[in-house]
Amino acid sequence: MGLAVARAMTDRRCPSSRAQLEATQAVVTEPDALTYLSRSLRLRAGAQVEFFDGLGGARRAELTRLTKERIEGSWLEPLRLEQRPNELAPVPILARQKRHGEDDALAALSALGFPLIRVFQAERDQNLSAWGDKQRLRWARITQDSCRQSGGYWCARVEPFESLDAAIEDLEYVVYGDAAGAPLTHRVEDRLGVVVGPEGGLSAQERALLDRRGGRGVRLGERTLRARHAASLLPAVVMNHWWQQP
């Protein structure tokens, strides 16, 4: 496992689009990708890079020409499609944290291969600003960078919700972090949501909502975790100990 992680972190990988992967020649013109390949990685002609689209498509190329405005390369293989792992993984449902505290959890959960992550505005959230395109682009960059660094081929999709009720509406089963909850047990359930509340915990109304939906409180140990830490740890532990692939 350690060697696999080390290899993923040192591989030269760059996000792309499916259209670019299907082109006859590898071409990079996006400013962020140009900066990453030429300045961050300091690549030169002859270097090999794996391009991926975050939707399972990938293709390795050898760079042939690099300028400030354009990077070109020759494909070393046909377009390949990687199967999505963990399709039935639980859905992390995270309360928005102050000062972008959910960012680290989004990065960690994306690296672990969660296909879908939901973020909701908790009743105790003091930030009343609406979700905007800027926030969505921020999350997309986080999950894309995490996918690139971890060696994945599918980027996690992040969905914002204005309430916990809306975030769990289509799920069959829900568990939530609770210091007074039961220890985790092995269990297999489809459409499972894992709710992590904000600092200070869920409101009485949100707890009542989870109770009406048959939600179960679970804990990782005897100590209380900060919300930003539980946001990545609880879904990861649930996926490992609770959910199993058929």
- Predicted local confidence at residue 5, as pLDDT: 39
Q: Is 211 helix (H, G, I), strand (E, B) or coil?
A: helix
DSSP strands (E only) in 67-153? 71-75, 80-81, 91-95, 116-120
Residues 42 and 164 in one domain: no
Considering the domain boundaries, does residue 126 fall inside one? yes
- Predicted local confidence at residue 80, as pLDDT: 96
Pick the residue with more confidence: 223 or 163?
Answer: 163
Instruction: Give residue-wise pLDDT tens across range 33-50.
Output: 999 999 889 999 999 999
Statement: residue 232 has pLDDT above 70? yes
- Predicted local confidence at residue 178, as pLDDT: 86
Amino acid symbol at 76: L
Across 119-141, b (16+ Cβ under 10 Å) vs e yields bbbbeebeeeeeeeeebeeebbe
Residues 71 and 161 in one domain: no
Query: pTM here?
Result: 0.85
- Predicted local confidence at residue 99, as pLDDT: 75
Statement: residue 1 has pLDDT above 60? no
Question: Between 133-150 and 103-111, two packed helices, what is the crossing angle to 10 degrees?
Answer: 40
Mean pLDDT of the chain: 87
Instruction: Give residue-wise pLDDT tens across range 176-203.
Output: 988 888 887 767 677 799 999 988 889 9
Distance CA 175, CA 210 (A): 8
Across 143-159, b (16+ Cβ under 10 Å) vs e yields bbbbbbbbbbbbbbebb
Residues 109 and 222 in one domain: yes
Residues 26 and 126 in one domain: no
CATH code of the domain containing 197: 3.40.1280.10
- Predicted local confidence at residue 88, as pLDDT: 79
Token pair of 71 as six digits: 């990077």
Pick the residue with more confidence: 9 or 27?
Answer: 27
Residues 103 and 222 in one domain: yes
Statement: residue 11 has pLDDT above 50? yes
Considering the domain boundaries, does residue 3 fall inside one? no
Statement: residue 4 has pLDDT above 70? no
Domain of 58, in residue numbers: 11-81
Distance CA 109, CA 90 (A): 11
Instruction: Give residue-wise pLDDT tens across range 209-224.
Output: 999 988 989 888 777 7
Q: Is 141 helix (H, G, I), strand (E, B) or coil?
A: helix
Instruction: Give residue-wise pLDDT tens across range 80-92.
Output: 999 987 777 899 9
Distance CA 136, CA 20 (A): 23
- Predicted local confidence at residue 181, as pLDDT: 84
Residues 17 and 67 in one domain: yes
Grade residue 6 by pLDDT with cuts at 50, 70 and 90: very low
Instruction: Give residue-wise pLDDT tens across range 92-121.
Output: 999 988 777 789 999 999 999 999 999 999
Grade residue 132 by pLDDT with cuts at 50, 70 and 90: confident
Amino acid symbol at 35: T
**Positive or negative, the Cα torsion across 205, 208, 209, 215?**
positive
Considering the domain boundaries, does residue 74 fall inside one? yes
Residues 73 and 101 in one domain: no
